[in-house]
Structure 1
Amino acid sequence: MNIAHHLAVIDLLCTREFPPAHGRAEHGESGPGYHIAELRTSRDFWEDDGTEREETETQYEADRDGLAERLTERWGPPGAFSLFSVFRRSMEGEAVDEPWATLSSHVPDMLLWKSPESGRWVALGVSQWDKELPFQLLGLVTDIDPP
């Protein structure tokens, strides 16, 4: 993991304008009020017996925590934000703002800061859509308050 590169991406997204519509962007996905950076992506696990998947999950959580240490040096300790209730509410038909609705379907929890420089929320999480699919270390920058 290249922490300096990941921090540079987060810094860039803290200053970049949000697009008027959802779509793919240079570092991942962006939409009205948010940028989601795909900081790192593993390989898939179709041929794995479960061993490599477990090791990869542990490594991605360690990478998230290592990056979080650097952000904590800047902005203080993060809040821990579970997306489970957000996912449940969206599945029950409640309207949940993006990017939170989509993130809740594949990221169980996030570490969350509010950047005093930009006034935007910055979050880190580890994503996995399904047990055979890759893990991703995600960085989120948004001006949409967590639900």
Structure 2
Amino acid sequence: MTTAQHLRAIDLLRSREFPAEFGPSDVGTEGPGFHIAELNGQIPQMPQMSDMGADADVDAEQLAAEHEALLRALTHRWGEPELFSLASTALRADADEDIPEPWLRLSAQLTYLCLWRIEDRWIGVGGSEEWLLAVVTETDPP
């Protein structure tokens, strides 16, 4: 996807109502108070060792470039983001602390998010070597 397509996806999520139930959506996952978009498509299965190689390196580089371009565009639009670590959220969840969604789900997938507070919603973008995610939520970070 291009940066323009990523921005359109985020804008679409910002305009949507939140559902009453957890479940899949046309772009990822959603639930009461949140939408999570998988901007690079479905989260892939972990590759087998024999599947890893040059293609995985190219895909990871492409994904990192898309992530950086999207962050630049959003920073231009909304200003500098807040960097929010999900590592401590994951540790707290492992210690059986009650972590609200979507933060629990995100902490299982990402190490950190860049967050913007826009009106009454948080908009976040995070990436890893496997995926690029965007979240729109009305639930404050834990």
| Bin for the TM-score computed over the shorter chain | 0.7 to 0.9
Matched, 1:85 2:88: yes
Which ranges in structure 2 are unaligned for 5 or more consecutive residues? Answer: none
Which ranges in structure 1 are unaligned for 5 or more consecutive residues? Answer: 129-134
The residue number in structure 1 matching 2:15 is: 15
Q: Give the distance between the partners of 2:139 and 2:44, measured in 1 at CA.
A: 31
Q: Give the distance between the partners of 1:112 and 1:27, measured in 2 at CA.
A: 19
Provide the identity percentage.
Answer: 41
**TM-score, reference length from structure 1:** 0.85
Q: Give the distance between the partners of 1:113 and 1:57, measured in 2 at CA.
A: 25
Matched, 1:142 2:137: yes
The residue number in structure 2 matching 1:115 is: 118
Q: Give the distance between the partners of 1:75 and 1:98, measured in 2 at CA.
A: 24
RMSD over equivalenced CA pairs, Å: 1.9
The residue number in structure 2 matching 1:97 is: 100
Q: Give the distance between the partners of 1:145 and 1:43, measured in 2 at CA.
A: 28
Q: Look up the SS of the partner of 2:134 in the other structure.
A: strand
More moved, 104-113 vs 41-50? 41-50
Q: Give the distance between the partners of 1:114 and 1:51, measured in 2 at CA.
A: 38
Partner AA of 2:68 in structure 1 = D
